[in-house]
Amino acid sequence: MSVWKIIQEKVGAGKRLSFEEGVYLFQGADFHSLGQLADRARERKVGTRASYVFNRYLNYSNVCVLSCQFCAFARRKREPGTFELSVAEMVEEGRKAVGQGATEIHIVGGLHPSLPYSFYLDMLRALAELRPRPMLKVFTAIEIRHLAGRVAKKSIPEVLSDLKEAGLDSLTGGGAEIFDAGVRDRICRGKESGEEWLEVHRIWHGMGGRSTATMLYGHVETAEQRVDHLEKLRGLQDKTGGFTGFIPFAFEPSQTRLAELGKIRRASALEELRVIAASRLILDNFDHITAYWISTGLPLAQIALSYGADDLHGTIGEEKIFHMAGAQTPKGQTRGNLESAIREAGREPVQRNTFYEIV
């Protein structure tokens, strides 16, 4: 029996794919057959629905102590291009977003060397007082480790407990990149390890928290390293069930130091669809796979709804991280644009909240 036939039978029976079968999805599987199989797996999970969230991205600062080779967002303190918002400025932006109908405020920043712990708690408390109260999806795992080890000098559980009490609803999935240690040494030396990223989410899930998971692909990683990354996410999801969805996105090379390594071309549209389809089949315990239109562009994200994706992320408002790296997509979308894209793809549009629950 061929590898593809075995994969088809396993997916049809709801059985888990092996590491080798996962690698085959990236390296050997027929593209259209893979998409069709992923689409059937999606339909079993969510039916005809495809979702989006009315959200607003905010960044409190891009000052960062790290110098990740793939990042064009971060700046050293006093370097040209730095920015830093006050709590009052963050709240004003949040108030505008809520007034326009946003149900989620999504916040990440750099690892700031001197902002006090009180800044982060005050920011959450003030945003949580907005009415109607938005869900606060804030901080990456590396920001949590930075707050614990350098800023508050507390344990990770203590910091997460403080943040939760102040208003934190969900962690973001940022910072995962590719978990393989060799890859991280090449693209984000000095950043937390894959195991440390997983530990933060494991602790948060153990406290009843929810979060998303991500993967940054299309740089120096191999198919095997992608599958290893996905299997580690799947393993943690088996234990905690705390991940709400998975968001893969392609590396934007043009404005980054990593591009200087040469021979790094942005992932093609076919590769982006293959990653989404393979992720749907490997991550059998994730209900939701997001096509991140900021990375793919909305037309390709629309096609991804037939290749295993069931979510188009959100309205976003003003995205900085990908655009500072060279993304040419819009910085935000209207609800109408997202709903039209979903309908044109033959799906039923539904607005969701941070936890992928229908609003």
Digit-coded pLDDT (tens) for 207-230 = 999 999 999 999 999 999 999 999
Pairing status of strand 170-171 against strand 210-217: parallel
pLDDT at 301: 97
Q: Give the rounded percent of residues in the chain with a pLDDT score beyond 90.
A: 80
**H-run or E-run covering 244:** strand 243-250
Q: Give the residue carrying structure tokens 């920011």.
A: 123
Mean pLDDT rounded to a whole number for the chain = 91
Structural domain including 219 reads 48-352
- Token code pair at residue 303: 């096609």
pLDDT at 326: 44
Q: Could you tell me the pLDDT band of residue 62, with boundaries at 50, 70 and 90?
A: confident
pLDDT at 265: 79
- Token code pair at residue 292: 């991140």
pLDDT at 352: 98
Say how many domains are in the chain.
1
Sign (positive or negative) of CA dihedral 124, 126, 127, 131: positive
pLDDT at 323: 39
Q: Could you tell me the pLDDT band of residue 191, with boundaries at 50, 70 and 90?
A: confident
Between residues 186 and 264, which one has the greater pLDDT? Answer: 186
pLDDT at 83: 77
pLDDT score of 329 more than 80: no
Q: Of the candidates 344, 348, 320, which has an alpha carbon nearest to the alpha carbon of residue 52? A: 348
Alpha-carbon span 301 to 55, nearest angstrom: 18
Q: Is residue 55 part of a domain?
A: yes
Distances (CA, A) of 263 to 67, 92, 187, 260, 266: 21, 43, 14, 9, 10
Strand locations in 196-321, DSSP E? 210-217, 243-250, 311-314
pLDDT at 320: 41
Q: Is residue 131 part of a domain?
A: yes
Digit-coded pLDDT (tens) for 128-144 = 999 999 999 999 999 99
Digit-coded pLDDT (tens) for 278-327 = 999 999 999 999 999 988 999 999 999 999 999 999 998 654 444 344 44
Q: Is residue 157 part of a domain?
A: yes
Q: Give the rounded percent of residues in the chain with a pLDDT score beyond 70.
A: 89
Most confident of 62-71, 74-83, 194-203: 194-203
pLDDT score of 153 more than 80: yes
pLDDT score of 254 more than 80: no
Distances (CA, A) of 30 to 220, 271, 303: 23, 12, 17
Q: Could you tell me the pLDDT band of residue 259, with boundaries at 50, 70 and 90?
A: low
pLDDT at 135: 98
Q: Is residue 105 part of a domain?
A: yes
Q: Is residue 68 part of a domain?
A: yes
For the chain, state the CA radius of gyration. 19
pLDDT score of 54 more than 70: yes
On the CB side of 92, CA atoms within 13 Å amount to 5
Q: Is residue 136 part of a domain?
A: yes
Q: Give the residue carrying structure tokens 């200087």.
A: 260
Q: Is residue 13 part of a domain?
A: no
Running DSSP on this structure, what letter comes out for residue 187? H
CATH number, domain of 282, equals: 3.20.20.70
Q: Give the pTM.
A: 0.94
Q: Is residue 27 part of a domain?
A: no
pLDDT at 30: 97
Digit-coded pLDDT (tens) for 83-118 = 799 999 999 999 999 999 999 999 999 888 889 999
